[in-house]
Structure 1
Amino acid sequence: MDFHSHRLLKSSAVLLALLSISAFSSNVSAKDSGNNIEIKTNLDSATEPEQSGWSSSKKYRHDIPIQFLGINDLHGGLERTGNVWFGATKYPNAGSAVRLASYLDNAQSSFQRENKHGHTFRVETGDMVGASTSNSALLQDEPTMQALKAMNFKIGTLGNHEFDEGLGEFHRILVGGKPTKHYNAAEMAYPHRSSGLQIVISNVVNRKTNKTPYNFKPYLIKTVKAANGKKVKVGFIGILTTTMPTLTTYKNYHPYKFIDEAQAIAKYDRLLRKKGVKAIVVLAHTGVATQTDAQTKQTSTSGPVVDILQKLYRIDPKNSVDLYFAGHSHQYANATVGHTHLVQAIYSGEAYDDIIGYLNPKTHDFAAKSLVAHVFPVLSAKQDPTVKDNAKVTAIVKDADQRTAPIVNQKIGEAAIAKNLTGRDENNQYFENETGDLVCDAQLAGAREATAKQNLHVDFAMTNGGGVRAGLAVKPDKSITWGAAQDVQPFGNILDVVSMTGQQIYDVLNQQYKNFGNGHKTYLLTAGLKYDFTKNDDQTQPFKVTKVYGNDGKPIDLHKTYHVVINEFLKGGGDYFNQFKTAKQVATAGVDTDVFVKYIKDQTKAGKPIAAPKLDRKHFVAGK
């Protein structure tokens, strides 16, 4: 479908008057040679002038106006903010649940002012919870679910982080059940209320019963009514990435089977069409990426979502999937694949999807060429002072802050200087950051202390980059709080000490640079060892590790056995590091969060305030 000329509905006056943010179609198209499916990348920009004629178009006067507001990967980010780039424009400190709520309300109000009989759906695509900030994590993410309820989200799907503590625990907080085990006092006293969110998931079934777990539905049908009484049904299909065995621990994923994404969509697309539902929306926790070629400056859209849609078009050429909300990869996307509009709104409430169209009561589908999709940033109060913080969500966040303050605000140590340590959003070119290296230092020290009585020396530490969720915050007085440390390591993974040969260490480090052909990218952080790597003339592995050596500069022996501390996620082959699965476990070293907190305490007590490590553990060597 081509974009129809339209008047873009602004989420706030400042977006037009102050920043002039609207959107444009870049008209960058490509056809997949194997599928003959056009892929068009569309970019939301800060410069394109407002278009006209969409909402007032006489062409659609007999149709029903409809709007979809979407988010993905909130991750319990009640107050988390970050830098967002739209084109060449940077928006600092974007995001937070409070600001997101206001932007969604403004977007919906703008739409309904122009379309009095229009209908708005608010949808999310997984990872609502998990890897959360401390004011949500300490309360088992129940404040996040209540914030989503206050934001009027009614339909969502599962992400991999909904499995972090077992799907049963997520279901408990979803429906407002009482805790099944004892947590901290703040969580036990929290009012456990239903979120009112309907979960739709079509490709996750119980391994034993082949049924969708917890009475979740594979699809939902919602009826939209026009002022004249005419009706159109809209179908929603939920999807979770089938790479789940690489994204959580065995005990969390093994109870379930994960059905091929395209096959599941095709199955329920056909079923919905048989029921007369032709306006179909997919809510999917599957990743997508928008890239710009450095030489040609051409922008393209790729990743697992594109692969899934291409397969869907092969097996179901007449599919009626008009809109695909993506998640999981934490990136911006706005594209069309065939006739399907594809969007993803970055991460943690830093942006939101706003899709507007018309439903045709005669065809029971979206009116031809009526869908217009945009992704907008959620600006800070400084960037956009005309948008006021949402009162309901503000109250939820304030309440969570007050309940968790006695734990979160505990001072656990001091930094050498009053400056935050960089996190994964500020990686250097070799994918190192100060907090990540510090975490590995802490795990190596903790593992050595834990195994000292066993006469077992731990040589190295490795952790996955995705396990270090934030930079370490340092207060102006140089103090470091428990909450700051927990925000860095929120998962509570068990640390395992494993034995590995030097060859296995080479192999696992090289797995960072494998091209899995599905858009998957990850990296390792290390302590106790450093390595050299260089370009490799192999598309399946564009870089290779050439030399691994200890902090003493001596190369490791390929045939010697070393002891390495890793987390239980990696031990299970998480993030495609399956070499760790072959390693023999010889000891445990506690919980990662606790180990990190203790390290900060111990270093400070020893008169060694926390300093940013030098980022020199990965060394690129040209020409080898």
Structure 2
Amino acid sequence: MPAAPRRTRRRTHGLLAAAAGLATAAALTAALPADAHESDHGHRPGRYQDVQLLSFNDLHGNLEPPSGSSGRVTELQPDGTTKTIDAGGVEYLATHLRRAREGHPYSITAAGGDMVGASPLLSGLFHDEPTVEALNKLDLDVTSVGNHEFDEGARELARLQNGGCHPTDGCYAGKRFKGADFPYLAANVLDEKTKKPILKPYWVWRKDGVRIGFIGVTLEGTPGIVSADGVKGLTFKDEAETINKYAKVLQRQGVQSIVALIHEGGYPASGSYNYDCDSAGAGSGISGPIVDIARNVTPAVDALVTGHTHNAYVCTVPDPSGRPRMVTSAASFGRLYTDTTLTYDRYTGDIARTAVKSANRVVTRDVPKAPDMTDLIARWNTLAAPIGNRAIGYISADVNNTGTESPMGDLIADAQLAHGRELDPRTSLALMNPGGVRAGLTYAAKGAEGDGVVTYAEGFTVQPFANTVNLQDFTGAELVQVLKEQVSGANAAAPKILQPSAGLTYTLDLTQSGADRVVTGSIRLNGAPIDPAATYRVATNSFLAGGGDGFPTLGRGTNDLVGADDLTALEKYLTANSSATNPIAPPKADRITVVR
């Protein structure tokens, strides 16, 4: 399929500064008048106009097709079984979106945040300039910010929006970076000094009298999941309160149709992208933070496009007036997009919400690649290849990043323990946060590298954050408290199970509640019970060492020592413990005994 020409509607449709994208879900049905979409007297638009909203979220710089489980979606079959489908890759996403727009003159493309950050080497090595360039070619109209847009701080986010060369790395291939053609929306992210949003809070799409406003927010809890330097000088406000505030602003401007782009999400009852979320009634098939947000967002908002949890869903959740309202998410990594039809009422300027219909679509790899995206990937790969193709180790099988305790998580923890012992032989154990493990390692990897070879690029995809390995002292009692914080406090509703290094074992009883889910008497280090009064030297990454991910006790360690970055620790461990003739085997992931 030839590359689609750049659309000019961003300039010719008189778009205002306002809000971002919409999502998907499987659909409320109510009949419109028979002549709803017909023109009056053959020349004036009819009362109702269908507007296509294409949306996606959590791309995370995955320009090339993601590998392993990160590049698959699960599809529910009519007989109740499931099958997996290989999905994703911006070359295919571009083709799917361009085909979806055909025959839809009123079409908007929006996103729900985390377009960049935690990216594979192809994008991350160049501070995600390749991804912004790709999004421009995809004709993205608007996106909210996500937490990962703050990985390198507000100043770097402003550069991605406005353009300019990187302050330390300069211009890649001698070309000045042009920045994003689309607005990033950050309604609830305020500068501590000015008390004003750091970027536009909303944006309005216009065409032939149709006006749809977008409000973009990220999760209020962003400071707890981003490094302190990334959010320094910023305040993050409540999502629903912020959306309600700017919905009133839009209404005062005469904009009655509003979509909220929210980088916060939920947990559907099924992992299949096409699961009927409303099979037992509105709001029945989804849980998590987005449910409370949706129930508190003003009825003036017609649809919610969400993200962050990397789940796929098309659900309705009742608004404060009790009316069902679409809430959608398209998983992550460009594997899905949401196709939503918004029926705009020209008489009222509002969305006829009972006519909204939505569905998630798979970005299959059985369509032609978009040539312009192939060229983009090849150009940046040429710059990245000398670094990315270097072998750093060998594996005997896939090292998966799945499960409560994952083999990949254990391997990273083992690497950080080894690095910690190089710095200080007294290091007792290492703990790795699951959110910092972005992928597994695939044995039969692509390209000419050979089966079982781990390249630097693959390692970068697993650990792209450039956190350092930090050592701290904790008492045994504090160590037990850290393990309990996995399932209590900020992590009570959505546990974050730390990946343990070899030697640390315990039982996690999920039939219990709160902190009791960690069975204190089962905790052992190298077979011995934890001594509450003893001192243990613990290796973590710098994010955890600052108390991130809801682990305040890890932020109170003593006798700090900072080591190398976490990817260097992984590379050194693989180099020391594997070879082409003696590859390392995946850890068994049997350090935590889970009772369900």
Q: For residues 104 and 585 of structure 1, do their structure 2 counterparts lie closer, same or farther at Cα, with a shift above 3 Å needed?
A: farther
User: Is the counterpart of residue 439 in structure 1 residue 408 in structure 2?
Assistant: no
Match of 1:323 in 2: 303
**CA–CA distance in 2 between the matches of 1:190 and 1:129?**
20
Could you say what secondary structure the match of 1:513 adopts?
A: coil
**CA–CA distance in 1 between the matches of 2:32 and 2:97?**
19
User: Is the counterpart of residue 205 in structure 1 residue 194 in structure 2?
Assistant: no
Q: For residues 517 and 552 of structure 1, do their structure 2 counterparts lie closer, same or farther at Cα, with a shift above 3 Å needed?
A: closer
Match of 2:432 in 1: 463
The offset of 1:608, in angstroms, is 5.5
* Deviation string, structure 1 residues 457-482 (Cα, Å, up to 9, x no partner): 11100010111111123354432211
**CA–CA distance in 1 between the matches of 2:86 and 2:180?**
28
- The number of residues matched between the two structures is 538
Which one of 96, 99, 107 corresponds to residue 92 of structure 2? 99
User: Is the counterpart of residue 578 in structure 1 residue 552 in structure 2?
Assistant: yes
The one-letter code sitting in structure 2 at the alignment partner of 1:86 is E
Q: Is the 8 A contact 2:334 2:363 kept in 1?
A: yes
Match of 1:366 in 2: 351
Match of 2:475 in 1: 501
**CA–CA distance in 2 between the matches of 1:465 and 1:396?**
32
Q: For residues 572 and 80 of structure 1, do their structure 2 counterparts lie closer, same or farther at Cα, with a shift above 3 Å needed?
A: farther
**CA–CA distance in 1 between the matches of 2:384 and 2:341?**
40
Gaps of at least 5 residues in structure 1 are 1-40, 45-50, 113-117, 226-230, 382-386
Q: For residues 505 and 277 of structure 1, do their structure 2 counterparts lie closer, same or farther at Cα, with a shift above 3 Å needed?
A: same
Match of 2:6 in 1: none
Which consecutive aligned stretches of 4+ in structure 1 deviate over 6 angstroms post-superposition? 51-56
TM-score, structure 2 normalization:
0.85
* Deviation string, structure 1 residues 47-84 (Cα, Å, up to 9, x no partner): xxxx9999995333312221110010000001143221
Q: Is the 8 A contact 1:138 1:187 kept in 2?
A: no
The one-letter code sitting in structure 2 at the alignment partner of 1:197 is F
User: Is the counterpart of residue 402 in structure 1 residue 371 in structure 2?
Assistant: no
The one-letter code sitting in structure 2 at the alignment partner of 1:224 is K
Trace 1:466-545 onto structure 2 (pairs within 5 A): 466-474=435-443, 475=445, 476-514=450-488, 516=490, 520-535=494-509, 539-541=513-515, 543-545=517-519
Trace 1:79-90 onto structure 2 (pairs within 5 A): 79-81=64-66, 82-87=71-76, 88-90=81-83
Q: For residues 605 and 355 of structure 1, do their structure 2 counterparts lie closer, same or farther at Cα, with a shift above 3 Å needed?
A: closer
* Deviation string, structure 1 residues 148-180 (Cα, Å, up to 9, x no partner): 111000211110011111121122133321110
Q: For residues 303 and 459 of structure 1, do their structure 2 counterparts lie closer, same or farther at Cα, with a shift above 3 Å needed?
A: same
**CA–CA distance in 2 between the matches of 1:532 and 1:595?**
25
The one-letter code sitting in structure 1 at the alignment partner of 2:434 is G
Q: Is the 8 A contact 2:164 2:176 kept in 1?
A: no
Q: Is the 8 A contact 1:123 1:156 kept in 2?
A: yes
Gaps of at least 5 residues in structure 2 are 1-23, 39-45, 272-278, 319-323
**CA–CA distance in 1 between the matches of 2:184 and 2:34?**
35
The one-letter code sitting in structure 1 at the alignment partner of 2:456 is W
Trace 1:89-168 onto structure 2 (pairs within 5 A): 89-109=82-102, 111-112=103-104, 118-168=105-155
The one-letter code sitting in structure 1 at the alignment partner of 2:565 is V
User: Is the counterpart of residue 592 in structure 1 residue 566 in structure 2?
Assistant: yes
**CA–CA distance in 2 between the matches of 1:180 and 1:119?**
39
Q: Is the 8 A contact 1:496 1:585 kept in 2?
A: no
**CA–CA distance in 2 between the matches of 1:305 and 1:52?**
23
User: Is the counterpart of residue 239 in structure 1 residue 213 in structure 2?
Assistant: no
Trace 1:4-403 onto structure 2 (pairs within 5 A): 58-61=35-38, 62=46, 63-81=48-66, 82-87=71-76, 88-109=81-102, 111-112=103-104, 118-182=105-169, 187=172, 189=174, 192-213=177-198, 216-225=199-208, 231-291=209-269, 300-312=285-297, 316=298, 319-338=299-318, 339-381=324-366, 387-403=367-383
Q: Is the 8 A contact 1:158 1:199 kept in 2?
A: yes
Q: Is the 8 A contact 1:515 1:539 kept in 2?
A: no
**CA–CA distance in 2 between the matches of 1:482 and 1:53?**
54
The percentage of counterpart residues that share the same residue type is 31
Q: Is the 8 A contact 2:26 2:357 kept in 1?
A: no
Taking only aligned residues, the RMSD between alpha carbons, in angstroms, comes to 2.7
**CA–CA distance in 2 between the matches of 1:494 and 1:190?**
31
Instruction: Specify which structure has the bigger relative contact order, considering alpha-carbon pairs within 8 angstroms and separated by 6 or more residues.
Output: 2
Could you say what secondary structure the match of 1:472 adopts?
A: coil
TM-score, structure 1 normalization:
0.81
**CA–CA distance in 2 between the matches of 1:54 and 1:596?**
58
**CA–CA distance in 2 between the matches of 1:562 and 1:451?**
12
Q: Is the 8 A contact 1:304 1:518 kept in 2?
A: no
The offset of 1:90, in angstroms, is 2.6
Q: For residues 478 and 357 of structure 1, do their structure 2 counterparts lie closer, same or farther at Cα, with a shift above 3 Å needed?
A: closer
User: Is the counterpart of residue 618 in structure 1 residue 592 in structure 2?
Assistant: yes
The offset of 1:486, in angstroms, is 1.2
Q: For residues 177 and 557 of structure 1, do their structure 2 counterparts lie closer, same or farther at Cα, with a shift above 3 Å needed?
A: same
